[in-house]
Amino acid sequence: MSVHLSESPPAIELRDVYFHYDKRDQEPVLVIKKLVVQTAEQVFLYGDSGSGKTTLLNLLSGVAVPSKGEILLFGQPFSKLSSRKRDKFRSRHIGVVFQQFNLIPYLSVLKNIQLASYFAKKHRNDMENRATDILLGLKLPLEVLHKPARALSVGQQQRVAIARALINQPEILIVDEPTSALDMSARDAFITLLTEICQQLKTTLIFVSHDISLKRYFKTAIDISELKTTGFHHVN
Amino acid sequence: MLIELAVKSLASRRKSVLLTFMSLVISISVLISVEHIRSQAKDSFNRTIAGVDLIVGAPSGQLNLLLYSVFRMGSATSNIDYESYQKLKNNDQVEWAIPMSLGDSHRGFRVLGTDENYFKHYKYGNKQTLALSQGEAFSSLFEVVIGADVAQRLKYKVGDSVVIAHGIGSTSFSKHDNTPFKISGVLAPTGTPVDKTLHVSLNAIEAIHLPLSKQNLLLKNPAAVTLKPASVTAVMLGLKSKFMTFKIQRDINNDQNDRLSAILPGVALTELWQILSTVENILTGISILVLISSLFGLSTMLLMTMQQRSNEIAVLRVLGAGPMILFGLVLIESLVVILLANLTALTLLSGALVYLSDWLAVNYGLFLSGGLLNWRILELVLMITIAAVITAFIPAIEAYKQALHTSLSANS
């Protein structure tokens, strides 16, 4: 039995989650007996390609649902919600950053960020100020705000992607190999920035990568293949 | 925001969008212009002649006779004797007869030799007689009354001198330079071929065709030469009793001594219209097919880009856009394209109508009004838009499916 140190429910909790791509398949692609991530925790999830990383990400963000078991976010049965409600929940509470192609290339940086608050239905007048603050925090020059996203360097695009993921003040930020398109020095700066800003905003961070060398930036590291076989249970 | 997204997305694919857009503009323009010409042509067609019971000419098909006598198109196979005209005119049943002598032109406009009965009895539209907007009908040999379009296009006014040429066409080899005519009157616009006609007396037509020496003599002393018309091209008849129309027609057609052909203008108009409407139905059919292929082009264009846009869809998905929103986005995109195409087609056609209506009227006898925005056309535009949205369901459903099966990291 685990002992919960915090009184509030954990940010993420997976219970007996099974996932099959096809319902007729006998062998599940992914089995996770138990996974708990506390609020404001920063978790490094690593595993080789094919280890089920993508599946886990799809489940955590609600794009896919488990064929068995359930996923709770802040105590809410996220995976049991209707797809419309999951979409809404995601837009408000989960930020996602991919490896690449995070932005709509033909929209300006500002529009890209506005899109996130549009779908979250959080129209606010200070949106531009908040975007400015976050961009400054991410050490992006402000003149990029009105440039089309495709005019930015890959490193800048990744930082804008984080700014967009954070604009709705999500409780959970999921990043999937965000540094694979960056070079070494840019990668260091990027991860440091990311972990700092998540700490500031008390955002739960799930950082997924196949690159085990990035492990050193995080207190908690989970090997997906191990998780799959043993059913990891983690308490902060 | 969604509309802005759709517009910017289209703008980012402007090359393929522009090509699709142009094909839509062309097909919509074709469809609308066919529809417009169809309704307008029927109107202007039916108002060309009224109140004439019979048209008599040399034996030929009734369409040919109708075309050259009423529409001033083509030419007569042969003329009829002047005596025949007088015989018709003196028939007990005939109330009035308008002689028509055609075959000459002035700068591309036809010249009609006739007499005062033309101004008295010729009717068009809702049985309106011809009215003069300036001056008066011709009274002497070298006077001419011109139609409204002739006056407008050639900037003629009462008192101006004009030269009438033998033959049809604006450049004629035998210009009758010797016989200048003076404009005595200008007719009010009628919207019929009358507007494009110059009217002179029958004797004037004879005078044009006199040998040069006789013309000189005539110009010096009008009384020196006796003019007697030998033939006319056609005669329009008004009868005392409408009930006698068929009998008179039969009598004229069966006269063994004088081979003539009498036609009922209404019947001939209907026959002509039927020929034209077959052509129009074919045109409408073809333009609908062209439109359908353009609409499929639009849907193909959107469908093809769905594959390229999988990243875009994944991004919108994680931002919380549900499958229905992506479905709607594609529909909005097609709606934006089709509405712009409709608007462009209507603007282009309205512009073209303003600039080409004169040319169409002069060259094809088509009198089109510039007013495109009637209910029939709006209905058509609405139908095109609905058809476009329906065809856009194919790519929209694809977007919906892609959204359902989005995987967050398609690249890893």
pLDDT tens, position by position, A174-192: 988 888 777 888 888 888 8
Number of neighbours of residue B281 by Cβ within 10 angstroms:
12
Contacts of A92 in chain B (CB under 8 A): 320
Q: Measured on CA atoms in the order A207, A213, A215, A221, is the torsion positive or negative?
A: positive
Does residue A5 carry a pLDDT above 60? no
Q: pLDDT tens for residues B156-177?
A: 889 888 877 665 544 444 555 5
Q: Residue B387: what pLDDT?
A: 92
Contacts B5 to A, Cβ<8 Å: 104, 107, 115
Same domain flag for B39 and B160: no
Percentage of residues of chain B with pLDDT beyond 90? 25
Q: Write out the H or E segment, with its range, that includes residue A16.
A: strand A12-19
Answer whether residue B382 shows pLDDT above 90: yes
Task: Check if B311 contacts A (Cβ < 8 Å).
Answer: yes
pLDDT for position B385: 93
CB A7 within 8 A of CB A183: no
Is A136 a residue whose pLDDT tops 90? no
Predicted ipTM? 0.81
Structural tokens at position B168: 């049809």
∠ CA B169-B172-B173, rounded to 5°:
160
Note whether B108 and B169 are within 8 A (CB): yes
Q: Which of A23-27, B128-132, B276-280, B284-288 is the least confident region?
A: A23-27
Residue A56 touches chain B, beta carbons under 8 Å = no
Is the distance from CB of A211 to CB of A46 less than 8 angstroms? Answer: yes
CATH number of A40-65+82-221: 3.40.50.300
> For residue range B293-313, what is the model confidence (pLDDT) as tens digits?
989 988 888 888 887 888 888
| Statement to judge: residues B41 and B58 lie in one domain | no
- Mean pLDDT across B239-265: 89
Using the Cβ of B409 and the Cβ atoms of chain A, whether some distance falls under 8 Å is answered with yes
Task: Look at residue B410 and tell me if it is in a domain.
Answer: no
Question: Mean pLDDT throughout B136-147?
Answer: 88
Amino acid at B46: N
How far does the CA of residue B4 sit from the closest CA of chain A (Å)? 10
**Other beta carbons within 10 Å of A225:** 14
Q: For residue B72, what are its two tokens?
A: 């001033």
pLDDT at residue B43, rounded to an integer: 75
pLDDT of residue B94: 92
Closest CA in chain B for residue A48: B412
pLDDT at B126: 77
pLDDT number for residue B238: 92
Which chain B positions have a beta carbon within 8 Å of A63's beta carbon? 317-318, 406-408
B329 interaction partners in chain A (CB closer than 8 Å)? none
Q: Determine the pLDDT at residue B262.
A: 92
Give the number of domains in chain B.
2
pLDDT score recorded for residue A232: 55
Residue B168: the pLDDT is 55
Whether B212 and B357 share a structural domain: no
The domain containing residue B323 runs over which residues? 2-45+273-404
Which pTM does this prediction carry? 0.70
A13 pLDDT above the threshold of 60: yes
For B48, B50, B70, B71, B388, the CA distances from B124, given in Å and listed in that order, are: 5, 5, 10, 12, 43
Kindly state whether residues B69 and B203 are assigned to the same domain. yes
Domain ranges of chain A: 40-65+82-221
The last residue of a domain, from among B238, B263, B288: B263
Residue ending a domain, choose from B263, B289, B316: B263
Residue B179 pLDDT > 70, yes or no?
Answer: no
B410 has pLDDT over 50: no
Res. B402: pLDDT tops 50: yes
Distance from CA of A216 to the nearest CA of B (A): 22
